[in-house]
Amino acid sequence: MIANAYELIVYILNLFRIYEPILNVFQMLGIEYVLQIIIVLVEIAILFVFVLLTVMFLTWMERKVVAMVQSRYGPMVTGPRGLLQPVMDGVKLIGKEDIIPAKADRWIFTLAPFIVFIPALLVFIPLPFGQSLIISDLRVGLLYIIAISAVSPVAILLAGWASNNKYSLMGAMRAVAQDISYTIPLALAAIAIVLFTGSLSTVDIVNAQSGTWFGVIPKWFIFLQPLGFVLFLIASIAEMGRIPFDFQESESELVAGFFTEYSGMKFAMFFLAEYAHLFAVSGIVVTLFLGGWTFPILPFVPAMLVPLVSLGVFLVKTYAVIFFAMWLRDTVPRVRIDQLLNLGWKIMVPLALLNLLLAGFLITAGVFR
Amino acid sequence: METDELIINMGPVHPSTHGVLRFRLRMDGEIIKECTPVLGYLHRGTEKLGEMKTYMQFIPYTDRLDYISAFPNNYAFVKAVEELAGIEVPLRAEYIRVIVMELNRIVNHLVSIGSLLMDLGAATMIMWGFRERENALQLFEMLCGARMTFNYIKPGGVREDIPEGFMAKLNEFLKDMEKRIEDYEQLISSNEIFMMRMKNIGVISAEDAVNYGMTGPTLRGSGVNYDLRKYEPYSIYRDLDFRACVRNECDSYARYIVRIDEMKESLHILRQVVDTMPEAKIVSSAKYGIAPMTGTPSAVSTYFPRIFTPPAGEVYSRIEAPKGELGFYIASDGTTKPYRVKIRSPSFCNLTAIPKMVLGLKIPDLIAAFGTIDVVLGDVDR
């Protein structure tokens, strides 16, 4: 059984019978750890490229979905059906002047986009893309994900503060207030899942969802925890900062919220982070509630192909969640910030606690396992 | 903890001030303590231009007042001139005027509701609204070649008779629009978040609304049954069956609902007008006051003199434009140009109520309330 992507790379190299010779060379030199580092770097490179491509695709998809809802075409000129539009956007953004406002705090202003972007990448580490397609199966995976997600509001606050702009500051304050009030129901809904699995490891959580009840219904947690799923979904849309909860931007009120003063590549970094986050959070929703990469047909797939098929399953599910988020964005208006906080503290936290109680009952009643 | 008040200048370049309006906001955190609209960024001296141009030359300038709905502007000025000079208008011309004005009311409300929803963060409605608006604009284009600034309604009639195929297309539009309004209502009216954002926001009592001089859907949203088409019927409105749409809630949601209802009423009016359209192809009156006319107007083709001189005197004439009461005061000294033109624009008067409406609310509420006031800055600044 291949546990993670590192072992998968070794396995693939072994298939071509080149791992042993390479390892021998490094062993002769007495620097095996260099080979390990190289393989890890390759993993990171693959992840990075994957995230960048995903983000590019997502910006295109977002526009197309919006266009579909609004009976328009969306981008059509650059490339087949506008597929190269993200490339053009990137080129344009690189070519833009990088403006730092005169009264901004230069260091923090420059640092903030990176502090936003790096957590958005780090979240991917314990995310199981498919069987054995995981960078590292952390034993505290879920805790790690929630902890890392909590870094981005700090960076948003930094960006808003450093811009020295009233709109930015208000956007940043809103973002922080929102994040604090939504991380709690998010974590509570996730804890209910941990009660079932008894493990924080994302791989364990996915494995617990393989198999079916009565041979028909897949053992996904959405069926055991419908309330938890709804809460988690709402909280994660708030986490992603998308309409109806996009207070950090709320462009009709605060111009562009915390990135009002940003331009060029720094702006692009926020954009990248936003879409990377969208994918990551959707991936987490899939992992926790929609069975991750498992699917009832998977046991009948030849073992060689399982990583590939499971990756496909994971992507389809994730994109379904992403599509839902985009669809939601085109349908509903934005709620007001105090209404959002009311919803978070007065409705979602109590409901999440209730959900936790229900999960406890279900476990005592022995419904699961 | 000690907190400071924050002064925010919202605009003149801001995504949801619909042009170049500026709000000076004194804020306590997110709460608005004081809101002062700062106007004049789009001032073009239209009233002064009225004194510099002949009566016929001034008509295109009225198009640029409220550029979303230019036909009523045209008509309001032309109606004043007609009353001043005692020009009679053929019935068919009046019918055409009502058709274009009611179509323009629909267009105006589509844009108004669309931009309101966009300000609230739901971008779909404005695209849908513009999709239907496009059909209406194509009708206008068929009629007079222009899509937004028409210069179509002239003293004594309209510039040209309706072209072939116009009526068929209009009927198609009416049929289509009925279904579309249902779509809008499904998308928006019953949306929980939309109601949360609109109900009990931007409340202004009937008394205050009257005192501020508010008119149009914004006044009728406060429960005052005041529609000039009913109250002081002009053109052929006396013969048409329609009702003034009134809601008693006094809040943003009521004003939104009034607009939706008015679109339905406009469709109802249009259907009647289409059914009873007179056949005679005369669309302009030959009688033109005192100025000698060069050339003879025929029965079918239209003819308008470049220069004509109404008798000395003054007139105030008002109509129910989509945004409210639009009035033109013209003082004539018996020359070819008006002595004075004063425009009473609905947007300006409605806008004055904003500081009262949003006191103690939050910035997002200001956006919502402002969106339902339906202001076009060309109309505010003139």
Q: Which tens digits make up the pLDDT trace of A65-117? A: 888 888 888 888 887 888 888 888 888 888 888 888 888 788 888 888 888 88
- Our CA-based measurement puts residue A336 at a distance from the nearest CA of chain B, in whole angstroms, of 7
Contact B51, B343 (CB under 8 A): no
The pLDDT score that the predictor gives to residue B230 is: 85
Lookup result for tokens 């109509």 = B319
pTM, whole model, 2 decimals? 0.84
| Residue B103 domain-assigned (yes or no) | yes
Please name the residue ranges forming H helices in chain A. Answer: 5-15, 19-29, 32-69, 85-95, 106-122, 141-149, 151-163, 166-197, 202-208, 221-224, 226-240, 251-254, 264-289, 306-331, 337-342, 349-364
Count how many residues are written for chain B: 382
Chain B CB contacts of A332 below 8 Å: 121-122, 191, 193-194
Six token digits for residue B236: 């052929």
Same domain, residue pair B33 and B136? no
A97 at the B interface (CB within 8 A)? no
Same domain, residue pair B24 and B66? no
Contact B6, A166 (CB under 8 A): yes
Q: Coil, helix or strand for B276?
A: coil
Taking Cα atoms as reference points, which of A222, A223, A239 lies closest to residue A287? A222
| A250/B123 Cβ within 8 A | no
Q: Measured between alpha carbons, how far is B97 from B92 in angstroms, rounded to an integer?
A: 9
Same domain, residue pair B29 and B55? no
| B127/A252 Cβ within 8 A | no
A242 pLDDT band, cuts 50/70/90, is: confident
| B117/A70 Cβ within 8 A | no
The one-character DSSP state at A334 is P
Instruction: Kindly give, in sequence order, each residue whose CB lies less than 8 Å from that of residue B258, ignoring residues fewer than 6 positions away.
Output: B217, B220, B221, B245, B246, B247
What is each CA distance from B194 to A44, A45, A244, B191, B198, in whole angstroms?
A: 44, 44, 11, 5, 6
How far separated are the first and last CA of chain A, in Å rounded?
Answer: 23
Q: Measured between alpha carbons, how far is A289 from B334 in angstroms, rounded to an integer?
A: 81
A332 at the B interface (CB within 8 A)? yes
Cis previous bond, B12, omega within 30: yes
The CATH number that applies at residue B301 is: 1.10.645.10
Best mutation target among A251, A328, A336 (most B Cβ atoms within 10 Å) is A336
The pLDDT score that the predictor gives to residue B292 is: 36
Same domain, residue pair B30 and B130? no
B132 at the A interface (CB within 8 A)? no
Mean pLDDT check: name the lowest of A138-147, A235-244, B95-104, B134-143: A235-244
The pLDDT score that the predictor gives to residue A159 is: 84
| Residue B28 domain-assigned (yes or no) | yes
> What total of structural domains would you count in chain B?
2
| Minimum Cα–Cα distance from B132: chain A residue | A71
| B197/A336 Cβ within 8 A | yes
| B6/A334 Cβ within 8 A | no
Contact B43, B381 (CB under 8 A): yes
Same domain, residue pair B251 and B274? yes
Lookup result for tokens 């994730």 = A318
Same domain, residue pair B142 and B15? no
Same domain, residue pair B218 and B178? yes
* Number of neighbouring beta carbons within 10 Å of residue A185: 27
| Residue B88 domain-assigned (yes or no) | yes
Among A166, A252, A339, beta carbon nearest to B15: A252
Among A72, A246, A336, beta carbon nearest to B362: A336
| Residue B219 domain-assigned (yes or no) | yes
b/e for B347-359, b at 16 or more Cβ within 10 A? bbbbbebbbbbbe
Q: Highest mean pLDDT range out of A23-32, A301-310, B189-198?
A: B189-198
Phi/psi at A80 (nearest 5 deg)? -65, 120
Q: Measured between alpha carbons, how far is B297 from A150 in angstroms, rounded to an integer?
A: 78
* Number of neighbouring beta carbons within 10 Å of residue A319: 18
Each residue's pLDDT expressed in tens, for chain B with a length of 382 residues: 677 788 888 878 777 777 788 888 888 877 888 888 888 888 888 888 888 888 888 888 888 888 888 889 989 998 888 888 877 777 888 888 898 999 999 999 999 998 888 888 888 888 888 888 998 898 888 888 888 888 888 887 777 778 888 888 888 899 889 888 888 888 888 888 888 888 888 888 888 889 988 888 888 888 888 888 888 888 888 888 888 888 888 888 899 999 999 999 999 999 888 888 877 666 666 554 433 334 444 443 455 666 777 888 889 998 988 888 889 999 988 888 889 889 988 888 888 888 888 888 888 888 888 888 888 888 888 8
Among A167, A243, A335, beta carbon nearest to B197: A335
Contact B273, B98 (CB under 8 A): yes
Same domain, residue pair B173 and B292? yes
What is each CA distance from B271 to A35, B146, B167, B173, B379, in whole angstroms?
A: 80, 24, 11, 11, 29
- Our CA-based measurement puts residue B208 at a distance from the nearest CA of chain A, in whole angstroms, of 26
Among A70, A332, A337, beta carbon nearest to B364: A337
B127 at the A interface (CB within 8 A)? yes
Q: Highest mean pLDDT range out of A155-169, A206-220, B8-22, B294-308?
A: A155-169
Chain A CB contacts of B16 below 8 Å: 252-253
Same domain, residue pair B32 and B54? no
Six token digits for residue B140: 């206008």
| B363/A254 Cβ within 8 A | yes
Provide the β-strand partners of residue A70. Answer: none
ipTM field: 0.78
Same domain, residue pair B13 and B115? no
- Our CA-based measurement puts residue A362 at a distance from the nearest CA of chain B, in whole angstroms, of 33
Chain B CB contacts of A254 below 8 Å: 363
Cα–chain center distance at A163: 27
| A336/B365 Cβ within 8 A | yes
Q: At what angle do helices A106-122 and A264-289 cross, to 10 degrees?
A: 30
Same domain, residue pair B327 and B267? yes
In sequence order, what E strands does B106-146 have?
A: none
The pLDDT score that the predictor gives to residue B329 is: 92
| Residue B161 domain-assigned (yes or no) | yes
The pLDDT score that the predictor gives to residue A251 is: 63
Among B14, B127, B367, beta carbon nearest to A70: B127
The pLDDT score that the predictor gives to residue B299 is: 42
| Residue B129 domain-assigned (yes or no) | yes
| B13: containing domain | 6-38
- Our CA-based measurement puts residue B40 at a distance from the nearest CA of chain A, in whole angstroms, of 22
Contact B35, B22 (CB under 8 A): no
b/e for A59-93, b at 16 or more Cβ within 10 A? bbbbbbbbbebbeeebbeeeeeebebbbeebbeeb
The pLDDT score that the predictor gives to residue A307 is: 78
A330 at the B interface (CB within 8 A)? yes
The pLDDT score that the predictor gives to residue A319 is: 92
Long-range contacts of A106-112 (CB under 8 A, 24+ apart): A107/A162, A108/A158, A108/A159, A108/A161, A108/A162, A109/A159, A109/A162, A109/A163, A109/A261, A110/A266, A111/A158, A112/A155, A112/A156, A112/A158, A112/A159, A112/A162
Same domain, residue pair B149 and B28? no
| Residue B1 domain-assigned (yes or no) | no
